[in-house]
Amino acid sequence: MDRLVKPDVKELSLSFTRSGRCSATFRLTNLMHTMSVAVSLSTTNPSLFSFAHPFSVIPPLSTSSFTLLLSQQSDHPPLSTPLDTILVKSSMLPTGKAHPDDLRRLFSKPGPHVFKDATIPISFVGPDVVEFLLTPSHKALEISFLLSKAISFCDEFQLVSLLKSAASRGNAYFVSALIDAGADVSSRDPDGVSAMSVAVKSGDIDIVELLIDAGYVLDNMLDRFLHDAAEMDRVELMEVLCLGYLDMDVNATDLDGRTALHIAAIRGHVEAVRFLVSVGCDPEVVDSNGWTALHCAASEGHVEAVELLLNCSTYAKYAVTKEGKTAFALAVDKGYVGLYDILHLGDVLHRAARIDDIHGMKSCIAEGGKVNGRDQNGWTPLHRAAFKGRIESVKLLLSHGAQVDVVDDAGYTPLHRAVEAGHVQVALYLVARGARANMKGLIGVVPLHLDSFKNHPSLVTPLCQEKERA
């Protein structure tokens, strides 16, 4: 016979908690049919573990329970690799009875009468152990060795809580292990917070992708992941979310009625604004105060964001808040002079050039209107004045630095537009001020040949003369 007793466990698991004393119970069975057995229990770390009764007597074929105690209270589990172990020794006891001192003397002397019946590893398990393993003080090999044991003793609620903790710490290995252990990736706490919302706010794309692959169920009524990503200007994160959830409502609003586009505009995150518009965010949506994304960008003085929003919105420039203010008015309130032209003065200058309002043009330029500012078609005020034949407006604009050979989106210069509309005086003046009659446009527009203005024969001779002089 190689042993006298048999333990009921191969490994003893202690459920560690920071708030109370830790203990675990196991049982030993006497394998002898006719004789009692004396038992000695010890550990490889006696300063850390203890038994209430380290020596005991088990009657024939009987079973006794023993409790291992963690002697020292601690805020963290005293993990070790290799694991601490319980050493189980036994000896036959013909008398069936013995005083503890006699038992101590019996096991103090080595010899063939003492059997080394079992070595039982001691593991610490439970959520507090997993939380401790999440700290960066452990090596990967130690974690992989200890983690699965600790997780296996966690209930469903604990797994979900740990999943959020792992996501907030950016630990993809733990997230994967917890998912494999059965953590519900779509579970939320009473405040509606899920592991996915934690991962998104942490900006961890790897964990976000893990949760998507694990089947996280998006709730368009609760989840505002694009808002969080827009706040951080994380375009690559928004791309992952939009690809992972094709049914995501990109125009979903928060408690203030703001879309993700509002958030990006407030922060001036140009790339985020560009991406959100590309996936369908509506720049005309207003929040609970009647603000569009353009209002938000203008109020914060974000020039690039304003320019981008203007290019993708038809009406936002003219929208008014509940207080009756346009984006231009908000910019004026904050003194953002660099926004005056693109939000308002540019329109005023173009309009004044079209109707030859010289006083209005002078006033607009004095307030900061840009003489080379473009409209949605790439026209400058000089294009507009030339096309309308407004010679005085043309002269005023050129005197204030208007570019004479600037081309619009169709590749036409102001001279092209003047010739197109048959305005001889304007065309001649532009040529006199340096406009090139053979100017090519940006997108393949041919030079001003005679057939370009064949419907206006009165221009042919003078322009040819100007071309020869040029």
Q: What's the pLDDT tens digit per position in 353-362?
A: 888 889 988 9
Do 5-124 and 341-469 come out as alike in CATH topology? no
Contacts 24+ apart (CB under 8 A), 430-434: 430/386, 430/394, 430/404, 431/463, 431/466, 431/467, 431/470, 432/466, 433/398, 433/404, 434/404, 434/405
Residue 397 and residue 185: Cα distance in Å, rounded?
Answer: 64
The answer to whether residue 138 scores a pLDDT higher than 70 is: no
* Residue 154: predicted pLDDT: 94
Show me where the domains of the chain are located. 5-124, 341-469
Q: What's the pLDDT tens digit per position in 79-97?
A: 888 899 999 999 999 888 8
Full DSSP string of 141-155 = HHHHHHHHHHHTT--
Residue 377 and residue 304: Cα distance in Å, rounded?
Answer: 19
Contacts 24+ apart (CB under 8 A), 370-375: 370/341, 370/345, 370/346, 371/397, 371/400, 371/401, 371/402, 372/401, 372/402, 372/403, 372/406, 373/341, 373/342, 373/345, 373/346, 373/349, 374/346, 374/408, 375/346, 375/347, 375/350
- The CA–CA distances, whole Å, from 17 to 67, 80, 169 equal 17, 17, 21
The answer to whether residue 242 scores a pLDDT higher than 70 is: yes
Q: Which fold has domain 341-469?
A: 1.25.40
* Residue 178: predicted pLDDT: 96
Could you identify the residue written with the tokens 């048999």? 6
Q: What's the pLDDT tens digit per position in 306-327?
A: 999 998 988 898 999 999 999 9
Lowest mean pLDDT among 67-76, 143-152, 305-314, 433-442: 433-442
Could you identify the residue written with the tokens 């706010």? 201
* Residue 135: predicted pLDDT: 82
* Residue 447: predicted pLDDT: 45
The answer to whether residue 70 scores a pLDDT higher than 80 is: yes
* Residue 266: predicted pLDDT: 98
Q: What's the pLDDT tens digit per position in 205-230?
A: 999 999 999 999 999 999 999 999 99
The answer to whether residue 146 scores a pLDDT higher than 90 is: no
| % of residues, the chain, pLDDT over 70 | 91
* Residue 444: predicted pLDDT: 45
* Residue 75: predicted pLDDT: 82
Provide the edge-to-edge strand list for the sheet that holds 12-15.
Answer: 12-15, 115-125, 85-93, 36-43, 55-58
Domain 5-124 has CATH 2.60.40.10: yes
